Amino acid sequence: MAIAPSPVPEFAVIGGEQVETYLAGRETETIALVEKTYLLHHQGDTVNPPSYFLRFPDRPENRIIALPASVGGSIGVDGVKWISSVPGNVALGVPRASAVSILNDPATGYPLACVESSIISATRTAASAALAATVLGADRRIETLTIVGGGLIARYVLHYLLAAGLTFRHVTLYDASDSHAAEFAEHLTRTLADTTVSIAESAGSAVRSGDLVLLTTVAPEPYLTDASDFDHAPLVLNVSLRDVGVDVVLTACNIVDDVEHCLKADTSVHLAEQRTGNRDFLDGTLADVLLGRVQVPFDRTVVFSPFGLGVLDLAVAKRIYDELRDTGALRELPGFFHELQRLP
């Protein structure tokens, strides 16, 4: 008698090299996948509970965040991203963040794969920022880019902004560390042929020169508190979430990825809610803008605050898993789940 195939999929391990190889050259496709996932989330075809922050009393600067999520629609995956942040890593010459995702099979619940996810996390963050820049900046003239915080995320976002078709005549950079600023300025000069690059003396002066302002620091609390730095009404990609002061938030048009997620963990918009006692300063989500339900002004500061949704990580990871499975390139660990009989 033929033995019925097991309903339990083999467990696979997808390393960073396979992830990077898959994503290279697929920037437009990845931006479209992020857009699709935001819309699925807006329609209620996802489950994205609050992230869980594991913190350490003896190492308060470090954290590990669990982002459980489920994506429905044609993507169909459950799982969790587990991402740690150790700012001290940067001094050791390695990235601050490291991550894995576990993908679960919605049919059996069995884990399908462990996927290296620091690249996926940076990529989905960058794809989301590029989507926001093109959608929220559609009616703006963007010639100058300001980057505050020149680290790994800034590098990925820059790559995606260029891949999305944005061009810059000038880039101004500010980093609290002179050596990081110098390294990133070199990266900019190597990457951007026809663009002038300068290092600003302060974050405020950098902001004042940017049509598009990218915030990618690790600042724990706002330091861009002078609302007059934003008098020229830039579009702000508030990726690091805690840089701008409440006065800036309250004069801007505020777009988030998810309201409940973003109004947490002392983000700038959360601080604005704490000060005002309401959410009236929020204008909508990126999905609202994509669907034409919210119009963004071109003559007022617009701040996009993406909390970073686990559904995006899982959607990108599942796309990679599917491709590797379909091309026979999945590295499986046969027998990883060993006890597959309820009774002998």
Question: Pick from 18, 306, 313, 315: which binds ligand NAD (CB under 6 A)?
Answer: 306
Site membership for ligand NAD, residue 239 (CB under 6 A): yes
For 326, residues 6+ apart whose C-beta sits below 8 A from its C-beta are: none
Q: Site for ligand NAD (CB under 6 A): which residue of 36, 63, 159, 180?
A: 180
| Contact pick of 172, 240, 254, 301 for ligand NAD (by CB under 6 A) | 240
105, burial (CB in 10 Å: exposed 0-12, middle 13-18, buried 19+): middle
Closest distance of CB 134 from ligand NAD, Å: 17
Residue 171: CA atoms inside 13 Å, Cβ hemisphere, count? 29
- Residues 6 or more apart from 343 whose CB is under 8 A from it? none
Q: Report d(CA 299, CA 86) in Å as an integer.
A: 39
Residue at 213: amino acid letter: V
Instruction: Supply the minimum distance, in Å, between the C-beta of residue 213 and ligand NAD.
Output: 12
| 30 Cα distance to chain centroid | 12
Q: Contacts with ligand NAD: how many residues (CB under 6 A)?
A: 30
The site map against ligand NAD for 50-89 (x = CB under 6 A) is: -------------------------------------x--
Among positions 125, 144, 146, 209, the unique one binding ligand NAD when judged by CB under 6 A: 125
Give the residue with the Cβ less far from ligand NAD, 8 or 39: 39
Q: Nearer to ligand NAD by C-beta: 215 or 324?
A: 215
Structure tokens at 194: 């026809």
Picking from 279, 252, 8, the residue whose alpha carbon sits closest to that of residue 243 is 252
Decide: is 9 part of the binding site for ligand NAD (CB under 6 A).
no
The residue among 90 and 135 lying less far from ligand NAD, judged by its C-beta, is 90
E strand or H helix that includes residue 98: strand 97-104
| Position among 40, 65, 77, 97 found at the interface with ligand NAD (CB under 6 A) | 97
Token pair in block for residue 295: 């119009």
Least distance between ligand NAD and beta carbon 60 (Å): 15
Q: List helix spans (H) across 192-267.
A: 203-208, 246-251, 259-262
Beta strands 235-237 and 212-215 are parallel
Residues that bind ligand NAD (CB under 6 A): 87, 90, 96-97, 121, 125, 148-154, 174-177, 180, 203, 216-219, 223, 239-241, 306-308
